[in-house]
Structure 1
Amino acid sequence: MSKTNREIYRAQMDAVKASQALRQKIERFAAEPAQENQTPKRKHRNWKYAAAGAMAAVLVCVLLLASFPFPVSSSSGMVNLMAGISPRAQAASVSAMDENFLRAQADFSVKLLQKASEKGKNSLASPFSVTSALAMTANGADGNTLSQFQQLLGGGIPLEELNRQYAAWANRLTANGSKLKSANSVWYGKDRVTVQKEFLRSNADYYKADAYQADFGSRDIVAQINGWVKNHTGGKIDRVVQSVDPQTVMYLINALYFEDDWSSPYYTGENKDYEEFHTPNGTVTRQFLTSREDYLHDNRAQGMYKPFQDERYAFVAILPNEGIDLDSYVSGLTGEQFLNLVKSKDDRVDFKLPKFKYEYETQLNESLKALGLTDAFQPEQADFSKMGSTPGGSLFIGSVLHKTFLQVDEVGAKAGAVTEVMMTVSSAPEDFKKVVFNRPFVCAIVDTQTNLPIFLGTVTDPLQ
């Protein structure tokens, strides 16, 4: 639905005073209006395009003061200190992406999934989002704390180069009408911490981060932070902060939102195609999407590669071979293997993929510690002296919260009537290879130039 049509649609819904809950449900399934000059080849069917769902992620890094409680007040007095200040253009100028950075990001992506996923449950992480928030935090670190950030995020490359590499990568992915929207912000408590100007400057230059000074003791600060997150995730994630701890002095937040249609859309007809999906806890019946896509394979798995209209992105689904369960496959996966698998496409194959939609939330403290980022979480060891100074105590990371949302399905509704429809395609020769994702699998949204995952997760139950 175009912007103009969407505005008209919303106005019509307002006119009949539809409830907010019903309107949101309808809009999620609203179909693209048929064009008068387009006639489907099979006139006996009513065809509609099927679109990819939305993906959203948010990463919140919470900086605490070791021991210094602050009072509660009634108004936050929020001020954006970066309003009107543009990033310096030369900050993101790199001639080519550094191989060490790319390898480190691939390894970090896979290891993050391994540490953050829960056995037998759907999981989803955005390495891009996590890297963004942690790299912003790294700009306030020094000493061994900084070294651990550099090793984890960039394979040991210096912070300045890490900043430049990430900025160049992010700028390419989000520029020129990109369907990927990324936003960063630094929130710090008025009278709780005096922030170094160079820390804010670096995060503005390389991460385009807004910097908000607010009264963390106010009663409306939670709504303001959550409102910022909701606004930058297409409304998919609306709450990441429940309350502000008296010891909290700073939040570093990345919000990420992706929504696009398939390059080669599914066609939905009147028939419904339901098949069994074998979860760890039993068999469920789910509606499947059918299409012919690029085929991926190695000696442990096979998969599909389906581009979006924005050619910078593609959807990848990976099905472990028979006899290899999902947990074993993920635990044995490496960054290099993931990149090689995504590059392996060499044929066209028929695929059946279940519709799925889920949210995932996890605290990454222990996962990041297991990956080598230990000092930042220890009050006695953390060195964030380049971030700022406080009235008393020392700065350290109290919490790294990651929330994600993923939806892959087809759109099919008109005028408030939610209608489930399914795609059909012309039949292939009997000897044409078919792959059915009817058991747990890995899914990803990848950058088609570097093959790095922007989102990476597992689907154990499409109905979960």
Structure 2
Amino acid sequence: MKTTFYISLLLAGLHVVAHGQLPPNHHNGHDPNEPKHHMHHAGEAIACLKLVPNNADFAFQFFKEVTLEAPNKNIFFSPVSISTAFAMLALGARSTTQTQILEGLTFNLTEIQEKEIHEGFHNLIHMLSHPESGVQLNIGNAIFLTEKLKPLKKFLDDAKALYQLEAFTTDFKNPTEAEKQINDYIERKTHGKITDLVKDMDPQTVMLLASFVFFKGNWEKPFKPEHTEEREFFVDAETTVKVSMMHQMGRFDFYFDEELSCTVVRLHYNGSATAFLVLPAKGKMKQLEQTLVKETVQEWSDHLFQSLMSLYFPKFSISGSYEITNILSKMGIVDVFTDQADLSGITGTPDLKVSKVVHKAALDVDERGTEAAAATAAEIMTVSLPPTVEFNRPFLILIFDRDTNSTLFIGKIVNPTITS
């Protein structure tokens, strides 16, 4: 019988607020899948960019599996958080277990070496942790171990150096104390956004791995609170809810994808993050969910153009909590959850497996923040009213970091009034 440990993947809150104003052409069409040319650390960027296509493939495959499991529910998760935690786990995995993890993260091991994968994640964490001003992004990993379990010095050293791992001794035999220690740590690291990550812990647990991301972004073009009004949101044919709808008139990056019947609007944050808001036509959400791939986002990026519009977008707070063992198994990561697991690179002995993977994410979107400086450039409006784009039915939100081209968050908002 293998000793088991939990992986708690956590994704912390994404909090979006309004701030500052810049001219509409400020970014000149940067897109999430294209490298920025003025990266500060060229070497880091190259290592990190090697991971980009694989991380993006993993993100959309995972999204597809989650939507199949929860077809009519709000979804919100961080692909980069899940990938990072499992790449770190691969450091301690051996033989088939290691191959399954890395291939499950969509890496082709004939094209990229394990060493390059870990270096890439190391640089990704470093670059995400030092983003441009205007975006607050903290990413990290922690391991909680029972006193009897002595991890190998090499594993701890490598995990600290590559994944900024913090290690703690925990008494899992006292589940209440263990839960408190872990939840307090995570709550502190995520600025209070993620609470009660672990509960009902099994006293047999010997190790828990936690991975977290905290994001706080300010809209480049803020929404004015006085323009927010209560409007209807159509959850489905039978259900309508009232939401606080933010409103802004101006020029926005816009594209209508005829093939997928969806409207795409791109909003920038100050700093290096970008949000794609995707509104499928009625009845077209399922088609979009099952066909969305990184090439789709690239196509949107290539075809966006500035369009004058009246934009309505809801204020909302949601969180998603997932036990993702089943989803990862479907993606080929199987042995690590069974008695076939070989995690001997962690403790030197093969009697260890992963019992449970928890991933929790939270998202807040609102218009709050410091108003733009007094000398803002006025938008020049035509006399005729611009077209209205209103996010008043289920939509997707994709958040990217432009510096590393990483998919930070993927969300599907079915009902903005349901918080979890």
Q: Would you call these one fold, judging by a TM-score over 0.5?
A: yes
Number of the residue aligned with 1:140: 92
Q: Would the alpha carbon gap of residues 262 and 387 (structure 1) be closer, same or farther in structure 2, given more than 3 Å must change?
A: same
Give the secondary structure class of the aligned counterpart of 2:264. Answer: strand
Query: How does 1:327-406 map onto structure 2 within 5 Å?
Result: 327-350=286-309, 351-379=311-339, 381-389=340-348, 394-406=351-363
Identity over aligned residues, as a percent? 26
Q: Is the 8 A contact 2:128 2:404 kept in 1?
A: no
Aligned mates of 1:160, 1:145 — CA distance in 2: 16
* 1:197 corresponding residue in structure 2: 153
| Deviation, structure 1 residue 256 | 1.3
d(CA) in 1 for partners of 2:16 and 2:102? 43
Cα deviation 1:299-325 (Å, max 9, x = unaligned): 312211111112x1012211113441x
User: Which amino acid in structure 1 is aligned with residue 342 of structure 2?
Assistant: D
Match of 1:131 among 83, 90, 95: 83
Q: 1:321 to 1:383 in 2, by over 3 A?
A: same
Report matched runs for 1:53-68 at 5 Å: none
2:166 is aligned with 1:210: yes
2:101 maps to 149
User: Structure 2, unaligned stretches of length 5 or more?
Assistant: 1-14, 20-41, 371-378
Offset of residue 431 of structure 1? 6.2
Q: C-alpha offsets along residues 195-229 of structure 1, whole Å, 9 cap, x if unaligned?
A: 11111111111111111123322352221111001
Contact residue 186 and residue 209 of structure 1 kept, 8 A: yes
1:114 pairs with one of 59, 64, 80 = 64
Q: What SS class does the counterpart of residue 172 from structure 1 fall into? A: helix
Counterparts in 2 of 1:349 and 1:446: CA distance versus 1, 3 Å: farther
Q: Which runs of 5+ in 1 are unaligned?
A: 1-27, 33-91, 414-424
Displacement after TM superposition at 1:31 (Å): 11
Larger Rg: 1
Q: Choose between structure 1 and 2 for higher RCO, CA contacts under 8 A separated by at least 6 residues.
A: 2
Displacement after TM superposition at 1:450 (Å): 4.9
Q: 2:216 — aligned with what?
A: 259
Taking structure 2 as the reference length, what is the TM-score of the superposition? Answer: 0.79
Deviation at 1:136, TM superposition (A): 1.3
Distance in 1, Cα, partners of 2:158 & 2:214: 23
Please report the RMSD computed on the Cα atoms of aligned residues, expressed in angstroms.
2.7
Q: Deviations over 1:216-254 (max 9, x none)?
A: 223522211110010011101111121432321111111
Determine the structure 1 residue equivalent to 2:7: none
Q: Give the 5 Å matches for 1:37-436.
A: 93-94=43-44, 96-97=46-47, 101-117=51-67, 118-153=70-105, 155-156=107-108, 157-175=112-130, 178-191=135-148, 193-218=149-174, 219-269=176-226, 272-280=228-236, 281-291=238-248, 292=250, 293-298=252-257, 299-300=259-260, 301-310=262-271, 312-324=272-284, 326-350=285-309, 351-379=311-339, 381-389=340-348, 394-411=351-368, 429-430=383-384, 432-436=386-390
Distance 1:285 1:105, change over 3 A: same
The amino acid of 2:364's aligned partner reads Q
The C-alpha deviation readout for 1:314-357, integer Å capped at 9, x for no partner, is 12211113441x22211121222233324432223422111111
**2: CA distance, partners of 1:93 / 1:142:** 28
1:266 counterpart SS class: coil
Q: Matched residue pairs, number?
A: 360
Q: Within 2, Cα distance between the matches of 1:272 and 1:307?
A: 20
Against the structure 1 CA distance between its residues 274 and 243, is the aligned structure 2 distance closer, same or farther, given a 3 Å change threshold?
closer
Q: Give the distance between the partners of 2:268 and 2:336, measured in 1 at CA.
A: 38
Encode CA deviations 1:75-118: one digit per residue, 9 max, x unaligned: xxxxxxxxxxxxxxxxx954614665211111111111121231
